[in-house]
Amino acid sequence: MRSAQRRSARLLALPLALLLLTAACGNDSDSAGTGTEEPGATGGGGATSGTINISGSSTVLPVSQLVAEAYADAGNQANVNVDGPGTGDGFQLFCEGETDISDASRPIKAEEIATCEQNGIEFVELRIAIDGLSIISNTSFDALECLNFADMYALSGPESQGFDNWTDAQAIAGELGSQTQFPDLPLDISAPGEESGTYDSYVELVIETYNEDRGQEAQTRPDYQSSGDDNIILQGIQGSPSSYGWVGYAYFVENEGQVKAFQVASEPGGECVAPTPETIASGDYPISRPLFIYVNAEKAESNAALAPFVDFYLSEEGISAVAQAGYVDIPEADLEETRSTWDSRTTGANFASE
């Protein structure tokens, strides 16, 4: 079981950001759209008044905020509420029918799908971007430039509870085939809590490489400074000269120069790859992951504000928020697939995780 102490440490990723979006008075037919232009370019041709509630991933939150701002600038009218307590907490709200859109930094889980089904919630799953989990430390940490998955498991996996020095992880890393020599320095970990999709992605991509073979649970060590707020994580990284943690790529880019990112190899002796837009897009960076929004299908019909907003989100103008936020665009063919899924209102999960 994951530690109750970790659960009590959950923090809201960012306070509720209420974006009041107003349009000029009068009946402006240009703002309404004609229905023949690009979907979402000016609201998709539908009514744009009303309220839209978005919650979920703190990783995706900057994208949705930027889309909401661009939607207002395009002359649309709606009250868009955006917050980012974490992917798991967001899905809990979504599957209880409390939100219209759920931002997610991982695919919806089977148990979350079951909860949605029990509550009669159907959803449209839309892949919008690619992220690369960035493994970070203080800029003054120069003992290592590259870590492999074995190193990362040894430092942060379920067997490392109680380790307070980098060298404490040396034996486990060696058992897993790593030749990395850890420095004799305090190991101060600041990273996402279990409410975060970024936590889940780290477990799935890194920890699950080794935990089953070693008879361990698929989880991290419970004894570190955890938070759902990436900014608090970054403060922890900056506060220790020998820190360790992980955040979404956009948060690293925004704070580059204040934190450093390790190169990552998927296995001992493997190629060390730095997170960049190019390596994340190509998949060469070994801890890349898709980002999503999930739309309540029934509310897309009953809430007159929702469908035009999603149309705009997936338009060229709206989706440009992905790069503006510091993430990586999905290939054009994948974007067209996302748009087709939305246009047809195809419900269900294509990327569901265990």
Mean pLDDT, to the nearest integer, of 306-330?
97
pLDDT value for 143: 98
Mean pLDDT, to the nearest integer, of 180-203?
97
Which alpha helices (DSSP H) does 29-132 contain, by range?
Answer: 29-32, 61-73, 87-95, 110-118
Across the beta sheet with 123-132, the strand order is 17-21, 78-82, 51-56, 101-104, 288-296, 123-132
Dump pLDDT digits (tens) for 72-105: 999 998 999 999 999 999 999 999 999 999 999 9
Mean pLDDT, to the nearest integer, of 264-284?
97
pLDDT value for 78: 94
Q: What are the backbone dihedrals phi and psi of residue 348, each rounded to the nearest 5 degrees, phi first?
A: 110, 170
pLDDT value for 18: 35
Worst-scoring range by mean pLDDT, 9-18, 130-139, 264-273?
9-18
285 DSSP 8-state letter:
S
Question: Which pLDDT band, with edges at 50, 70 and 90, does 341 fall under?
Answer: very high
pLDDT value for 3: 37
Residue 319 above 60 pLDDT?
A: yes
How far is residue 288's CA from residue 299's CA, in Å, rounded to a whole number?
Answer: 31
pLDDT value for 49: 78
Whole-number Cα distances in Å, 348 to 26, 71, 110, 137, 298? 40, 27, 11, 38, 13
Dump pLDDT digits (tens) for 207-229: 999 999 999 999 999 999 999 89
Dump pLDDT digits (tens) for 33-46: 333 334 433 344 44
pLDDT value for 46: 43
Percent of the chain with pLDDT over 70: 86
Percent of the chain with pLDDT over 90: 84
Dump pLDDT digits (tens) for 320-335: 999 999 999 999 999 9
Q: What is the mean pLDDT of the chain?
A: 88
pLDDT value for 354: 57
Residues 6+ apart with CB under 8 A from 332: none
Domains of the chain: 4-130+291-343 (3.40.190.10), 134-286 (3.40.190.10)
Residue 310 above 70 pLDDT?
A: yes
pLDDT value for 23: 36
